[in-house]
């Protein structure tokens, strides 16, 4: 293929990359991470930014510093803030083509560029003003100039070395994993650099380190004191399934995309066997550069502190593409054009239709709750509806951004400690008292993916009918009613209740000596616990028979009649598979029953949010029981286990829909 045709096609791929990243540009929303970062730009000095906005984070100073000065110059409009990162995502496509062309041939460069231009993985992170697309661009530009000084050092060495040093330093200041990738690239060069240039190359490495010295204090603080994840962190250690799950994710969970990738690999290998494969060292480098950050991140996450996520592998992902498609020989325009067209058509179709990228990503969970509340107030009136929006301190700042942006109604309540009550586990009683005091016919609840699963069952006790449910990426919004009508929709997909009136399937049979017919909630008996009685009849059922969605919520509730303080009495659930406990959790009933309350029926709750549990494939068993560890005296009745239909797209941008 001649150079003119090659660069015309490259220009078309760059246009496609730009269009896919700039569809409805004014509607691209902020994510929680972006709003959190922007909330840390309101400082009066750079030193204050470092001490209050950077060192407390888990990322290097580069992007946060850039946002600090960028927003001072241009403001906080979504497109204005995101535009530099979108441009980085587009430039990354160009540099991947250049590397593929230099290492292998123009066809390989175009194929890899086409995938990077059209995959959701790279598009999503190009639309987020965080250190991902910037790191992708810096890493590829670094490798481009690294290649020049390693394999063609006689041509403009000092210019290329200066640019290599610059982009390596930018990688170091951008993200800890782009720093790791830059280190791997730098070490690799020691094995390939010509001896007469080796000293100059080592000096280049020293220059990179010198440029990074001002950041060392932040680096060591974040590594040893701050950081992310950990035993008490939000991020769990990865399992072996992370690797195949990652590959499924980057290739759209699509059989069509996998067939396309497989066909290109097979075609490339067959043609390379026929025509010869002349650059095995670049295949080895590409594969090693993808595998090493993955293995190091996996090891560190398992042994030290959980950090590994798909976003952190974005910087090395282009080299996975190069290692997959490097076998393809230089093809003529007659063959290259249809292949590239097929790549773009399949990837864009699955991006829009299967992955629903522009539907899910453009509906920000914080903004959706504000907009839906505002529209319900306008349609129904403030006298007919009460709205509760989930928020902790950081969520609240994100929500307030959209309240201000959309000029939305603010007559809603927060669930965080800044609002009228606290939904910390020790304060569910405040939520119950709040709900008891409501007399409006409708109630709305907006929540994000991090919602407390116990809140919804409490709300459904007082407003048991769902009029409508809106599901979107990262959250849900419920409109509930006190009365059932033709518009209500079912929310439960499974229910089993033990009211101790006889044998109930999948419940342990209650001994007759523990049944009571003088104190009961409904209809004629309750179950009595005492100082000699640590366990009550338990529920046991196969998870696959009670839940049909990985994002479902298993709700447990029962009525308790305390005869004394209920210290050390808990509702416990476990999910067991092949003799191994995959999940165990408890909720203390004192979260709902004050110490002063006795001889009165009180409803207590427990919940299992399945989306937070990484279950192995199989058919585990759910067990639910009362653990009377404190050997207290009380009656219990209406022990109920239900499954609430979950949000099928709550993690739809990262998981299969």
Helices (H), 75-105: 78-103
Judge whether 552 and 643 are in contact, CB under 8 Å.
yes
The answer on pLDDT for 37 being more than 90 is yes
The answer on pLDDT for 420 being more than 80 is no
pLDDT at 91: 98
pLDDT digits (tens, 9 = 90+) for 223-257: 775 444 444 445 678 888 899 999 999 999 999 99
pLDDT at 574: 96
Which run of H or of E encompasses 559?
strand 553-562
Mean pLDDT of 451-477: 94
pLDDT-derived band of residue 395, with 50, 70 and 90 as boundaries? Answer: low
Max CA pair span of the chain? 96
226 vs 62, which has greater pLDDT? 62
Q: Which residues contact 210 (CB under 8 A, 6 or more apart)?
A: none
Q: What are phi and psi of 136, to 5 degrees?
A: -60, -45
pLDDT at 417: 43
What is the pLDDT of the chain when averaged over all its residues? 92
47 vs 228, which has greater pLDDT? 47
The answer on pLDDT for 305 being more than 90 is no
pLDDT digits (tens, 9 = 90+) for 181-238: 999 999 999 999 999 999 999 999 999 999 999 999 999 888 775 444 444 445 678 8
pLDDT at 401: 82
Q: Is 490 exposed, middle or buried (0-12, 13-18, 19+ CB in 10 A)?
A: exposed
The answer on pLDDT for 57 being more than 50 is yes
The answer on pLDDT for 614 being more than 90 is no
Of 29-33, 135-139, 383-387, which gets the smallest average pLDDT?
29-33
The answer on pLDDT for 412 being more than 70 is yes
Question: pLDDT over 90 for what percent of the chain?
Answer: 78
pLDDT digits (tens, 9 = 90+) for 116-168: 999 999 999 999 999 999 999 999 999 999 999 999 999 999 999 999 999 99
Q: Which domains does the chain have, with CATH numbers?
A: 3-360 (no CATH), 365-481 (no CATH), 492-644 (2.60.120.260)
Judge whether 631 and 531 are in contact, CB under 8 Å.
yes
Which residue(s) pair with 414 in the sheet? Answer: 389
The answer on pLDDT for 307 being more than 50 is yes
pLDDT at 396: 66
Q: What is the DSSP letter of 511?
A: P
Of 9-18, 71-80, 587-596, which gets the smallest average pLDDT?
587-596
Which run of H or of E encompasses 628?
none
The answer on pLDDT for 595 being more than 90 is no
Cis preceding-peptide flag for 322 (omega within 30 of 0): no
Of 12-21, 283-292, 614-623, which gets the smallest average pLDDT?
614-623
pLDDT at 159: 97
pLDDT-derived band of residue 423, with 50, 70 and 90 as boundaries? Answer: very low
Which residue(s) pair with 478 in the sheet? Answer: 445, 469
Mean pLDDT of 510-515: 88
Give the pair of three-digit tokens for residue 357: 């990228």
Question: pLDDT over 70 for what percent of the chain?
Answer: 96
> Distance of CA 282 to CAs 244, 289, 327, Å?
24, 10, 11
The answer on pLDDT for 549 being more than 90 is no
């Amino acid at each position: 293929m001649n150079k003119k045709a090659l660069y015309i096609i490259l220009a078309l791929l760059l246009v496609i990359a730009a269009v896919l990243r700039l569809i409805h540009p004014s509607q691209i929303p902020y994510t929680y991470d972006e709003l959190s970062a922007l909330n840390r730009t309101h400082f009066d000095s750079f030193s204050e930014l470092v001490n209050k906005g950077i060192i407390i984070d888990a990322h290097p100073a580069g992007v946060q510093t850039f946002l600090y000065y960028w927003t001072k110059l241009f403001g906080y409009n979504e497109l204005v803030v995101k535009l530099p990162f979108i441009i980085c995502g587009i430039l990354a496509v160009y540099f991947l083509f250049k590397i593929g062309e230099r290492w292998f041939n123009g066809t390989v460069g175009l194929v890899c560029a086409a995938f990077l231009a059209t995959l959701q993985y790279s598009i999503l992170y190009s639309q987020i003003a965080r250190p991902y697309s910037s790191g992708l661009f810096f890493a590829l530009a670094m490798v481009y100039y690294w290649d020049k000084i390693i394999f063609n050092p006689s041509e403009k060495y000092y210019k290329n070395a200066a640019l290599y040093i610059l982009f390596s330093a930018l990688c170091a200041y951008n993200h800890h994993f782009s720093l790791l990738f830059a280190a791997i690239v730098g070490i690799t060069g020691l094995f390939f650099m010509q001896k007469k240039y080796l000293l100059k190359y080592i000096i280049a490495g020293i220059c990179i380190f010198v440029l990074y010295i001002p950041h060392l204090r932040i680096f060591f603080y974040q590594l040893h004191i701050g950081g992310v994840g950990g035993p008490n962190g939000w991020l769990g250690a990865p399992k072996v399934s992370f690797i195949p799950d990652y590959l499924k994710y980057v290739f759209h969970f699509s059989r069509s995309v996998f067939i396309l990738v497989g066909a290109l690999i097979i075609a490339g290998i067959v043609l390379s066997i026929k025509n010869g494969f002349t650059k095995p060292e670049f295949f080895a480098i590409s594969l090693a550069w993808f595998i090493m950050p993955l293995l190091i991140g996996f090891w560190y996450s398992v042994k030290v502190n959980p950090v590994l996520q798909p976003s952190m592998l974005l910087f090395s992902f282009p080299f996975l593409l190069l290692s997959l498609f490097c076998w393809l020989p230089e093809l003529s325009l007659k063959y290259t054009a249809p292949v590239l067209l097929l790549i773009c058509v399949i990837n864009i179709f699955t991006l829009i239709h299967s992955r629903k990228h522009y539907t899910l990503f453009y509906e920000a969970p914080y903004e959706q709750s504000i907009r839906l509340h505002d529209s319900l107030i306008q349609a129904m009136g403030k006298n007919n509806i009460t709205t509760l929006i989930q928020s902790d301190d950081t969520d609240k700042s994100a929500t307030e951004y959209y309240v201000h942006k959309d000029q939305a109604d603010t007559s809603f309540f927060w669930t965080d400690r800044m609002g009228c009550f606290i939904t910390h586990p020790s304060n569910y009683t405040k939520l119950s008292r709040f709900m008891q005091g409501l007399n409006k016919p409708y109630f709305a609840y907006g929540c994000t993916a991090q919602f407390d699963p116990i809140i919804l069952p409490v709300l459904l006790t007082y407003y048991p009918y769902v009029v409508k449910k809106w599901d979107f990426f990262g959250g849900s919004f419920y409109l509930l009613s006190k009365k059932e009508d033709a518009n209500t929709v079912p929310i439960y997909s499974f229910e089993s209740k033990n009211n101790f009136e006889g044998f109930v399937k999948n419940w342990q049979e209650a001994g007759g000596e523990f049944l009571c017919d003088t104190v009961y909630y409904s209809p004629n008996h309750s179950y009595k616990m005492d100082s000699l009685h640590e366990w009550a009849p338990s529920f046991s059922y196969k998870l696959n028979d009670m839940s049909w969605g990985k994002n479902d919520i298993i709700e447990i509730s029962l009525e308790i009649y305390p005869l004394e303080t209920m210290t050390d009495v808990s509702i416990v659930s476990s999910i067991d598979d092949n003799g191994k406990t995959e999940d165990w959790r408890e909720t203390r009933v004192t979260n709902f029953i004050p110490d002063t309350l006795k001889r009165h029926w009180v409803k207590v709750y427990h919940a299992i949010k399945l989306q937070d549990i990484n279950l192995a494939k199989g058919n585990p068993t759910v067990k639910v029981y009362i653990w009377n560890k404190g050997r207290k005296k009380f009656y219990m009745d209406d022990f109920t286990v239900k499954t609430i239909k979950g949000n099928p797209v709550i993690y739809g941008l990262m998981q299969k829909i």
